[in-house]
């Protein structure tokens, strides 16, 4: 995971700021411009040298295919159908959400190929060298929870499929804390395998995603073909009408569901620089993400609807859980193939989306003591102790409470980062000062109070009105703050727009050629 300094090509000049700029606009620090170690730097947080930024369009597209093809993505449509939508409304909601979230993905992802820096270092430009720990830890907490959720779901998948292979004794094992010990064993084994892969570093992850993506696609298509052959067509579920219609009953469900679907990838809209920092150029990350995210998620949602429709025709009831459906295979080969597909699909998304980002965030918290690998191990431990099985208990809790609240908070951080990088600084950063106390990004003792204020106000407006329907969640029926309840269904958009606008207004006075630590100097920053 280290990013050592590389020799300066003789044809690339060094600027007065100690930066080397390639003809395509990508930048790296000159040798010696950034100390190899210190309170705000370690090998994992340093910019990736230009020579090591090698990820292509295919690598980014494969990354998204691997991340999108997972069990929770498959069951997103089922959650929306359970809330009263028909399949067309569910697929449309998912497609629109992923087109929306792609925009901040591309905007925040731009800094990765250009400067080779991860998300926590990018956040220093707006929050300050110390203040960047605030958004980093918020994002790390979310990612740790997601890691636990995905690991639990993956362990369940292994448990169910092995139960079909080994028979009733497997499922009927002695219970511990309400679950068979065999389920806990599957959960533990899956957890160890995930951490073992990510411990090898980002290059191992890139190679894993390259072959995992096509394998998972083949597995999903095989499930579709198997179900089509047994069903003789896809009819019953596709003919089922919406209980909401397209009128006044639909929109109160649509908007919070849309925010929830955006919240599904809201974490990645922040930590995408953790991956794009390895990009060979802007074209690679833009095309790779554009081809990989919205198309894959929409196609996967449609695939899940078709397969579930076939299951209704064959078994008399829709089976949205792909693991439960695969468990109905009548031969050992089919079960083992399904088992391997579930393993690869879940590992693919979990280590990429939910281990890489908190590992960087935790390393950023204490660079001297925590490196990327240590951060990954800490993530794994936290992912277990948050009791992930509680977060996916009902569609209401999963979509409205968990995804909605998470989306609101992370949208607020995205708004600040986008405003700072694109509006205030026009994509120009001083790399050395991102690692240097007392530089442009030191602000007041390492904190930019403007970013903190924008985060607090944006977050309050985004999630302060969070509410639950009677008996459906942890929030009061009238909302935490009743006067903010009307905003709760639009949390991600409210948080992003509010924080972006407020941060821009607060930082505008600093753009009037004021120089010195914590000021915006157009000559350098």
Q: pLDDT digits over 147-199, tens only?
A: 888 888 888 878 877 887 777 677 778 888 778 889 889 888 888 888 787 77
Q: Helices then strands (H, E): number in the chain? A: 22, 4
The pLDDT of residue 307 is 80
What is the number of other CB atoms lying within 10 angstroms of the CB of residue 438?
12
pLDDT at 397 over 70: no
Q: Which residue has the higher pLDDT, 58 or 397?
A: 58
Backbone φ/ψ region at 495: left (φ over 0), alpha (ψ -120 to 50), beta: alpha
What is the number of other CB atoms lying within 10 angstroms of the CB of residue 176?
12
Range name among 108-122, 155-169, 231-245, 462-476 with the lowest pLDDT average: 231-245
Neighbouring residues of 421: CB distance < 8 A, sequence distance ≥ 6: 107, 108, 110, 111, 122, 125, 126, 427, 429
| Domains (range + CATH), the chain | 56-404 (1.10.4160.10)
Average pLDDT, the chain: 80
The pLDDT of residue 123 is 95
The pLDDT of residue 276 is 94
HSE (side-chain half, CA atoms, 13 Å) at 122:
34
pLDDT at 393 over 60: no
The pLDDT of residue 32 is 82
Q: How far is CA 297 from CA 67, 273, 301, 387, in A?
A: 9, 21, 6, 27
pTM of structure: 0.80
Q: Encoding tokens for residue 367? A: 């660079």
* H helix runs in 6-56, sequence order: none
The pLDDT of residue 158 is 82
pLDDT in tens, 320-377: 777 777 777 777 777 777 777 777 877 877 777 778 778 888 888 888 888 878 888 8
> Helix, strand, coil proportions of the chain in percent (round to 5)?
65, 5, 30
Range name among 15-19, 259-263, 323-327, 489-493 with the lowest pLDDT average: 15-19
pLDDT at 128 over 90: yes
The pLDDT of residue 381 is 85
pLDDT at 292 over 60: yes
The pLDDT of residue 132 is 94
Q: Measured in whole angstroms, how far is the alpha carbon of residue 525 from the centre of its chain? A: 29
């Amino acid at each position: 995971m280290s990013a050592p300094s590389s020799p300066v090509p003789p044809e690339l000049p060094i600027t007065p700021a100690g930066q080397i700029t390639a003809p395509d606009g990508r930048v790296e620090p000159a040798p010696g411009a950034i100390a190899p170690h210190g309170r705000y730097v370690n090998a994992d947080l340093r910019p990736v040298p230009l020579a090591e930024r090698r990820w292509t369009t295919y690598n980014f597209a494969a990354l998204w295919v691997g991340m999108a093809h997972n069990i929770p993505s498959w069951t997103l449509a089922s959650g929306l159908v359970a809330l009263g939508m028909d399949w067309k409304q569910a697929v449309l909601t998912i497609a629109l959400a992923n087109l929306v979230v792609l925009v901040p993905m591309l905007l925040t992802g731009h800094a990765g190929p250009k400067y080779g820096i991860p998300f926590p270092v990018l956040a220093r430009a707006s929050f300050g060298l110390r203040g960047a720990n605030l958004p980093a830890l918020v994002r790390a907490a979310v990612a740790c929870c997601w890691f636990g959720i995905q690991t639990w779901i993956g362990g369940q998948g292994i448990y169910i499929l092995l139960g079909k292979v080994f028979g009733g004794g497997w499922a009927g094992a002695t219970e511990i804390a309400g679950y068979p010990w065999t389920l806990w064993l599957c959960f533990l084994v899956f957890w160890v395998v995930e951490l073992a892969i990510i411990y090898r570093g980002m290059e191992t992850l890139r190679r894993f995603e390259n072959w995992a993506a096509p394998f998972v696609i083949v597995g999903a298509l095989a499930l579709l073909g198997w179900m089509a052959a047994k069903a003789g067509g896809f009819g019953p579920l596709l003919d089922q009408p919406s209980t909401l219609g397209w009128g006044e009953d639909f929109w109160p469900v649509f908007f919070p569901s849309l925010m929830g679907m955006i919240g599904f990838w809201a974490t990645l809209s922040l930590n995408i620089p953790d991956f794009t920092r390895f990009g060979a150029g802007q074209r690679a990350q833009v095309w790779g993400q554009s081809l990989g995210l919205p198309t894959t998620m929409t196609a996967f949602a449609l695939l899940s609807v078709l397969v579930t429709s076939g299951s209704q025709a064959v078994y008399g009831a829709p089976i949205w859980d792909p693991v439960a459906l695969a468990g109905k295979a009548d031969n050992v080969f089919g079960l083992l193939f399904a088992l391997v597909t579930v393993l690869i699909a879940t590992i693919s998304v979990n280590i990429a989306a939910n281990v890489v980002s908190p590992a960087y965030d935790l390393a950023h918290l204490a660079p001297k003591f925590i490196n990327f690998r240590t951060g990954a191990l800490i993530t794994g431990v936290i992912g277990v102790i948050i009791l992930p099985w509680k977060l996916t208990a009902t569609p209401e809790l999963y979509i409205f409470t968990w995804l909605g609240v998470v989306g609101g908070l992370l949208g607020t951080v995205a708004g600040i980062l986008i405003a700072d990088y694109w509006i205030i600084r026009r994509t120009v950063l001083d790399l050395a000062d991102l690692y240097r106390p007392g530089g442009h990004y030191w602000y007041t003792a390492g904190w930019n109070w403007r970013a903190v204020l924008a985060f607090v106000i944006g977050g309050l407006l985004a999630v302060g009105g969070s509410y639950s329907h009677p008996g459906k969640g942890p929030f009061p029926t009238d909302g935490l703050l009743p006067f903010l309840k009307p905003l709760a269904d639009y949390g991600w958009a409210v948080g992003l727009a509010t924080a972006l606008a407020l941060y821009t207004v607060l930082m505008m006075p600093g753009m009037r050629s004021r120089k010195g630590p914590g000021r915006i100097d157009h000559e350098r920053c």
